[in-house]
């Protein structure tokens, strides 16, 4: 089996992880590209003692650490556009951020995260706790849920409220979603792709983003519709059926890293 065949199933997920880690699609994709180029050129190699997925993430982290986060190229983003996001990003130490994302977003066990980060199980547990404390201190906003399955919508609503956020509306169609956003600007949107009347959650999000700059998390059974590489893709994408901790982690990351995050109205 070729290197590409071994890694292909894991590439969409390490891209998702890299984007969440850096808070930026272009920066995250740059790190993944450099890691793959290093593997292809023989400069790095997969560790055969580890599973291909764990080994790929391990190589990614050796690239991350070796570059000292110098691959970011934000000069053309416009003055002030990334300053707030960059400052927010730096409030969590890189190691804590990595451990938190590897376990909560990517679903690795603490033991696997320790292998990826070349550290101990106990240190990973400590890093996760530190990251969660930092993230929790930043949160509180109004959330719009776009989901046509009542049971799933109720589960998401419960998770959102457990984190201390307010659910301003639950929309089952594109029109309901855009109307809800017009009534009250959300600070976060959680969206499915396929909606009740055959309309698209992607289109609903486009409508909302045409009016407001808000973070979006897609929660869908059809991730392949978004991870095509043919257009700008979401930084935060969760596949159904989802784990509650994965949703909570993504919410924390989306709010923490978004440059114009809107706090919940008093």
Structural domain count of the chain: 3
Are 150 and 115 in the same domain?
Answer: no
* pTM score above 0.75: no
Instruction: Please report whether residue 263 resides in a domain.
Output: no
- Tokens for 30, please give them: 């740059």
Are 81 and 41 in the same domain?
Answer: yes
Q: Which CATH number fits the domain that encloses residue 106?
A: 1.10.10.10
Q: What is the pLDDT of residues 208-260, one digit of tens each?
A: 999 999 999 999 887 776 765 554 456 688 999 999 988 988 888 788 767 66
Are 121 and 158 in the same domain?
Answer: no
Q: How far apart are CA 31 and CA 43, in angstroms?
A: 15
Averaged confidence pLDDT in the chain: 83
pLDDT of 137 higher than 50: yes
The more confident residue out of 136 and 107 is 107
Domain, as residue range, for 100: 91-137
How many CA atoms are closer than 13 Å to the CA of 114, on its beta-carbon side?
11
Are 34 and 8 in the same domain?
Answer: yes
Are 32 and 49 in the same domain?
Answer: yes
Are 153 and 56 in the same domain?
Answer: no
Residue finishing a domain among 137, 153, 174: 137
Instruction: Please report whether residue 264 resides in a domain.
Output: no
Are 159 and 249 in the same domain?
Answer: yes
Are 195 and 240 in the same domain?
Answer: yes
Q: Exposure pattern of 236-263 as b/e (b: 16+ CB <10 Å)?
A: bbbbeebeeebbbbbbbbbbbbbbebbe
- Tokens for 211, please give them: 């009016």
Instruction: Please report whether residue 25 resides in a domain.
Output: yes
Q: Which CATH number fits the domain that encloses residue 198?
A: 3.40.50.2300
Are 85 and 191 in the same domain?
Answer: no
Q: What is the pLDDT of residues 69-108, one digit of tens each?
A: 544 444 444 444 444 544 555 567 778 888 988 988 888 9
Element spanning 146, H or E: strand 142-146
Are the CB atoms for 144 and 178 separated by under 8 Å? Answer: no
């Amino acid at each position: 089996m070729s290197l590409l065949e071994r890694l292909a199933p894991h590439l969409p997920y390490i891209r998702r992880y890299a984007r969440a880690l850096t808070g930026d699609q272009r920066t995250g994709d740059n790190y993944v590209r450099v890691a793959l180029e290093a593997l292809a050129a023989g400069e790095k190699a997969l560790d055969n003692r580890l599973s291909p997925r764990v080994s790929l993430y391990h190589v990614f982290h050796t690239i991350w650490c070796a570059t000292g986060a110098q691959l970011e190229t934000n000069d053309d983003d416009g003055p002030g556009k990334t300053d707030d996001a960059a400052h927010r990003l730096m409030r969590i130490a890189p190691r804590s951020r990595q451990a938190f994302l590897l376990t909560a977003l990517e679903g690795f066990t603490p033991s696997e995260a320790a292998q990826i980060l070349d550290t101990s199980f106990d240190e990973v547990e400590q890093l996760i706790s530190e990251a969660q404390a930092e993230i929790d201190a930043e949160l509180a906003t109004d959330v719009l849920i776009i989901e046509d399955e009542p049971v799933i919508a109720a589960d998401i609503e419960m998770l959102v409220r457990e984190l201390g956020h307010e659910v301003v509306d639950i929309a089952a169609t594109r029109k309901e979603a855009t109307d809800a956003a017009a009534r009250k600007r959300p600070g976060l949107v959680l969206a499915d792709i396929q909606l009740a009347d055959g309309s698209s959650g992607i289109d609903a999000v486009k409508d909302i983003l045409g009016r407001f700059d808000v973070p979006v998390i897609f929660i869908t059974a059809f991730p392949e519709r978004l991870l095509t590489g043919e257009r700008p893709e979401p930084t935060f994408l969760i596949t159904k059926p989802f784990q509650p901790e994965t949703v909570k982690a993504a919410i924390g990351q989306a709010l923490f890293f978004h440059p114009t995050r809107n706090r919940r109205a008093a």
